Amino acid sequence: MQKHTQLFIDGSLTPARGTQDLPVTDCYTEESFASYRSASSEDVDAAVIAARHAFDAWSATAPAARAAAVRRVAAALREQAEALTTAISREVGMPRKLAARIQVGAPLSAWDAYADLADGLEWESRIGHSLVQQVPVGVVACITPWNYPLHQITGKVAPALLAGCTVVLKPSEIAPSSAFMLAEAVRQAGLPAGVFNVVHGGGADVGQALVRHPGVDMVSFTGSTRAGRQIAAQASADIKRVALELGGKSAALVLPDADLAAAVKATLASCMLNSGQTCSAITRLLVPRHLLGRAEELAQSFLPSYRMGDPADGSTRLGPLVSQAQQRKVQSLVEEAIAAGARRIGGADEPPRHGFFVPATVLSDVTPQMAIAQEEVFGPVLCLMAYDSEDDGLAIANGTAYGLAGAVWGPATSHTLGVARRMRAGQVDINGAPFNPLAPFGGFRQSGLGRENGRYGLEEFVEPLSIQLPPGFADLPVQ
């Protein structure tokens, strides 16, 4: 087992002063394959101080130079693509073939894409006699989850650095490997000391120390709504800026004249991706009541393709969940739903002898009042629900505490688009349209605050500053 006892602070690896070694578990073998030493409060303080010291020079660096530095980081990360894929697949359980493309390939491309966007951002503009600058918010604490570790790190760290912010990253203690590989890429890329720092540990100690630190100007967090609520409350003591990307209970609304087979197949794929451990997964499929039986038949026919097995096996389509605790939580919610009147569609395959598996599960006769129709499961469980009218379907789709994602299935008409516009979610796709990394990503209500991706992700880390110009300054060039 590899033991890591160092953090990345002020441009170099430094021994962690915490006392706890936190294991990282292979969720298929159920064995620990690495451990990382937790940071102490002194380590957190050192990392924030380093970021604060580095801020003035980094924020004054020309945007083009910051973009060039980010591209060097991307190039150094690409050299570690195989190692990243292996580590993330073992930590999270996503089949390796998918992990290479989704967990690693997409984030690597995003580093360069963010740099391109920064090159085109209007950093200064004129409004009448005012010069409006986009200036970095300051020192940013980035706290990231385990389900898409490198993806979520990239969505915060890359735009923050490009905006001119300095960063202290606390990755999930469950899936930290990619964060430390990123630290090595930052070192190879030659970023100034203190611009990027990594501390390790749990949310209750290291995470809270970061959120409460007076030297932190902004907290960008992705995780559960429960933890996001706590972070927002803690950050409010110092009026820190907060960006939160939280939970979801997203629905696909199938209109009566839609392609039902395509809707069921695509919604299952969304729900089962990463074994359901995706905040924006479509986990409720809403169909007209007279089509419920046909939807059940289709779902049952597609379920056998979600073969469980070793994530390293190319034929595996459904990997294990991240932990035994997550496995038990999902199993408990399914059992509770069945006890409340839901029906399991199709027989569940026998899972492998080891690994934190939950078989691909479709439940029908789910009503909006059931816990499984309201709570984020974070497992491979799709709720099949019937509606009686379009307004009824929209009420069910919008009838949770969340509003992260959604989908509409129907003919290519203005009416279908109109239904999509009525969904209260941060992103809605029609007829399986693919994810767009340049479009804003984030949610309504308890799904969070702010947006990631594209220029919207960059703008989360800047503040507008207005300089009122007297006569005689009007002809100065805008940078």
Q: Of all helices (H) and strands (E), which one includes residue 429?
A: strand 427-430
How many other β-carbons are positioned within 10 Å of the β-carbon of residue 354? 14
Burial environment of residue 381 by CB neighbours within 10 A (0 to 12, 13 to 18, 19 or more): buried
Which secondary structure element, helix H or strand E, spans residue 253, and what is its range? strand 250-254
- Write out the CATH class of domain 2-246+443-467: alpha beta
Please say whether the beta carbons of 218 and 141 come within 8 A.
Answer: yes
Alpha helices in 25-166 (DSSP H): 41-60, 63-78, 81-92, 96-98, 106-120, 149-163
Q: Do domains 2-246+443-467 and 250-430 have the same CATH topology?
A: no
Rounded Cα distance, 435 and 450, in Å: 18
Predicted local distance difference test score (pLDDT) of residue 109:
96
Name the CA dihedral angle for 134, 135, 140, 144, rounded to a multiple of 10 degrees: 20
Chunked into runs of 10 residues, the chain (479 residues) has average pLDDT values of 94 95 96 96 98 98 96 97 97 96 96 93 89 95 97 97 98 97 97 98 94 97 94 93 96 98 98 96 98 97 95 95 96 96 86 93 97 96 98 98 97 97 97 94 94 94 93 71
Residue 479 confidence (pLDDT): 62
Indicate if 245 belongs to the active site.
yes
Query: Under CATH, which architecture does the 250-430 domain have?
Result: 3-Layer(aba) Sandwich (3.40)
- 122 catalytic? Reply is no
pLDDT of residue 119: 87
Catalytic residue among 27, 165, 279, 383: 279
Q: Give me the pLDDT at residue 474, please.
A: 67
Domain ranges of the chain: 2-246+443-467, 250-430
Find the helix or strand (DSSP H, E) in which 372 lies.
Answer: helix 371-374
* Identity of the amino acid at 193: A
Print the SS3 string covering 142-168: EECCCCCHHHHHHHHHHHHHHHCCEEE
Residue at token pair 């986009």: 134
**How many CA within 13 A on the CB side of residue 182?**
30
The residue from 173, 245, 376, 452 that is catalytic is 245
pLDDT at residue number 478:
63
pLDDT value of position 431:
98
- Give DSSP secondary structure letters for 182-225: HHHHHHHHTPPTTSEEE----IIIIIHHHHH-TT--EEEEES-H
Q: What letter does residue 389 receive in the DSSP assignment?
A: S
